[in-house]
Structure 1
Amino acid sequence: MSLFAFTLVVVAAIAHAAWNLASKKASSSGLLFIWLGAVASTVFYLPLAIVDIGLHGLELRSFILGATVSAVLHVAYMFLLQRGYAAGDISVVYPMARGTGPLLTVVFAIVIFGERPPPLALFGALVIVAGVVAIGLAGSVGRRRAASAGLGMPGAAPSRMRAGIIYGLLTGVSIAAYTLWDASVVNGGGVSPLTFMVGCTLGELVLLAPIALRRRAQLVTVWRSFKREAVIVGLLSPLSYILVLWAMQLAPVSLVAPARELSVVLVSLAGWLVYREPNPVQRMVGAVVVLGGVALLAVA
């Protein structure tokens, strides 16, 4: 992977971790918060997309089909992620999702796109997935220990652990689906990452508009409670993915998808330091493993 592509992925990982932490605070708001984030994204990025289209043109058919399918996949991803954050710990849901997603993406990028990453890069990808899973299991172990010690509500910890794992795995499947689809659009459809991402955001607005209109009073309450978080998500969520799509134009999908999981290290640190989630030693060991895998990708 080139240094420039790797830099794009690192910046994207930082932005991705930041918006996920903001989303965690509003996890109980569900689809209404997602819609507000899409509104904020449109306000930020639509003017830039118009300029981009004016400069580079647009393959309309690829744009409409690509953005429509991607919007459906991204709404499913955001919904599962929000539900997971509400039902489980961020340090379980997020690592499980980010571990499953790139693993499936690497496999299908090789099968579907015919990519042949070098052995060192493939090993680095597997190391990253192993580190991510180790971080996720740290939350599970901590919950089980708390439950066995009689801390908290009986049955609550195992229930949150199971919910976190299930939603994490489902979210990972959705990540693999939208990553492979979006890579095919920006690499083969003649659509720039910026314009494509704005099209996806507009699709999300349309898909979720009926829910937002039916629940206007609740929407106002969510905005008043979480407007700062909605703005953060609206700004950083598209930015992180635009950078990833750009990197996918410069490097194989099977390398970019695992490398972006650097964000797991940042979220796991926050889960420990901010949310006081358990078992920090295993989290940090997993984080070091992830960093080692990212380093292997950088030199491959």
Structure 2
Amino acid sequence: MIEWLDSIAGTPLGGHVAMGLALTSAMAHASFGAIQKGRHDPWVSRAGIDLWLLAYTLPLALFVFPWPQGGEWLILLGASGIHFFYKFFMAMAYERGAYTVVYPVVRGTGPLATLVFAAIFLAEHYAPVQWLGVAVLSGSILWLAKMNLDAAPLNRPALIAALGWAVVTGMTVAVYTTYDAWGIRLWQDPFAFILWLFVFTSVDFPTYMIVRERGIAWMRTLLSRGAIGGILGIVSFGGIMLGTRIGKVAEVSALRETSTLFAALIGWLILGERSTPARVALMGGIAAGAILVQMG
């Protein structure tokens, strides 16, 4: 499997596989975000999800896949720090704003910053039409978030603060996407990297919550939701990391941001939300931007 992935990296087939991984990741991530936000404390939700992620991946990492060697430990330590800040900022945003306001801003900020970081740090080159596509995608997502903000009947100062945290979170998404893409390309076994990354990045939030709540009573709150969220997290984050190993980072990242479309579908089909023609048009802009990036 590893040899096959490496053999298709940078080829047209690899691009198609990376696209499929990105779209699968997008569907899973929209559901993942809805579970973390939900009707519960986003801090507790994320800690519960991380506990299940640890339960799913630790046995495989310890007894099935090779352990990190040499500098690989340092790569994992760096990733764990970046992912902790991402989760911290995400929880701060969810705590202050509605899901439909916060989520599009996070996903809209990420791809443009990722394209810049990948061009600078990974020496990847992109055509002008791809820069245009990311601009269309990000602009559509951010304008959709503005419309949601204008229509939100909640405390506007709190929502404005949520948007600030969402922008910071989006920048952090670009940082971890670029860093993880660099890290997974250095490991001979990409699946070992993914598993150990989950292990390293799943310890921090439960530990933080134990300290913050001075105990473990919160663990009983969301056991079933955490179990589902853990599976979605593996599909979402694992899929995007494999995609960045065999495809160009910004292309895969841009396609993943179609998760905003899936988030809208979740709101329509499950939550009973309805979209105006303007919102539908902006959702089309999200898809069009992702297509431009891939076509380029």
TM-score under structure 1 normalisation?
0.84
SS at match of 2:41: helix
Question: What is the CA distance between 1:157 and its match in structure 2?
Answer: 2.9
Percent of residue pairs identical:
23
Which of 176, 180, 183 is the aligned partner of 2:181? Answer: 183
Distance 1:73 1:278, change over 3 A: farther
- Residues 207-265 of structure 1, C-alpha deviations (whole Å, 9 max, x = no match): 34543444677633x33332222112211112211111111111111211111101011
Q: Report if the CA contact (8 A) 1:62-1:185 is conserved.
A: no
Could you tell me which amino acid in structure 1 is paired with residue 136 of structure 2? V
Which of 278, 291, 294 is the aligned partner of 1:295? Answer: 291
Task: Give ranges in structure 1 of 5+ residues lacking alignment.
Answer: 147-155
Q: Report if the CA contact (8 A) 1:36-1:223 is conserved.
A: yes
Number of residues of Structure 1 aligned to a counterpart in Structure 2: 283
For residues 103-252 of structure 1, the aligned pairs below 5 Å read: 103-143=112-152, 146=153, 156-187=154-185, 189-190=186-187, 192-208=189-205, 210-214=207-211, 219-220=216-217, 222-252=218-248
**Higher alpha-carbon deviation: 162-171 or 272-281:** 272-281
Distance 1:48 1:203, change over 3 A: closer
- Residues 42-80 of structure 1, C-alpha deviations (whole Å, 9 max, x = no match): 222234445762xxx455124311211111211211122
Question: What is the CA distance between 1:285 and its match in structure 2?
Answer: 1.9
Q: Show the counterpart of 1:39.
A: 51
Which of 13, 16, 21 is the aligned partner of 1:8? Answer: 21
Q: Report if the CA contact (8 A) 2:51-2:203 is conserved.
A: no
Distance 1:216 1:28, change over 3 A: closer
TM-score under structure 2 normalisation?
0.85
2:91 is equivalent to residue 82 of structure 1:
yes
2:80 is equivalent to residue 71 of structure 1:
yes
For residues 267-278 of structure 1, the aligned pairs below 5 Å read: 267-271=263-267
Question: What is the CA distance between 1:119 and its match in structure 2?
Answer: 2.8
Question: What is the CA distance between 1:181 and its match in structure 2?
Answer: 1.0
Q: Report if the CA contact (8 A) 1:105-1:254 is conserved.
A: yes
Could you tell me which amino acid in structure 2 is paired with residue 243 of structure 1? G
Question: What is the CA distance between 1:39 and its match in structure 2?
Answer: 1.9
Could you tell me which amino acid in structure 1 is paired with residue 201 of structure 2? E
Counterpart-to-counterpart distance in 2, 1:165 and 1:70: 25
2:98 is equivalent to residue 101 of structure 1:
no
Counterpart-to-counterpart distance in 2, 1:63 and 1:34: 26
Question: What is the CA distance between 1:163 and its match in structure 2?
Answer: 2.1
SS at match of 2:233: helix
Q: Report if the CA contact (8 A) 2:54-2:199 is conserved.
A: yes
Counterpart-to-counterpart distance in 2, 1:119 and 1:82: 35
Counterpart-to-counterpart distance in 2, 1:41 and 1:229: 12
Q: Show the counterpart of 1:151.
A: none
Q: Report if the CA contact (8 A) 1:138-1:278 is conserved.
A: no
How well do the aligned residues superpose, as a CA RMSD in angstroms? 2.5
- Residues 3-46 of structure 1, C-alpha deviations (whole Å, 9 max, x = no match): 1111111111111111111111265251x433322221122223
Could you tell me which amino acid in structure 1 is paired with residue 192 of structure 2? T
